[in-house]
Amino acid sequence: MDEAPYTGLLSLRSQSLSRVFEEIAESRKTAAGVHVSPETALECTAVLACVRLLSESIAAMP
């Protein structure tokens, strides 16, 4: 099992949110040939809603 892509995710507190997005998505083209980066992903309302839900849930934790 290759854990290399996820090794940086263990220390999220020391990384910026954009860096985490880069590690996950790596700004690759989709099967449709569209370039997706953290900035362009957040222009999609569904992605923005998911990020907002996750961040608000984490913020509510003690």
**pLDDT confidence of 27, banded at 50, 70, 90?**
low
Say how far apart CA 23 and CA 34 lie, in whole Å: 18
**What's 61's DSSP letter?**
-
Say how far apart CA 32 and CA 19 lie, in whole Å: 24
**pLDDT confidence of 8, banded at 50, 70, 90?**
low
Average pLDDT over residues 12-30: 64
Q: Which sign does the torsion angle of CA 28, 31, 34, 36 carry?
A: negative
**pLDDT confidence of 24, banded at 50, 70, 90?**
low
- Neighbouring residues of 24: CB distance < 8 A, sequence distance ≥ 6: 9
Range of the domain at 9: 4-59
The count of domains in the chain is: 1
**pLDDT confidence of 25, banded at 50, 70, 90?**
low
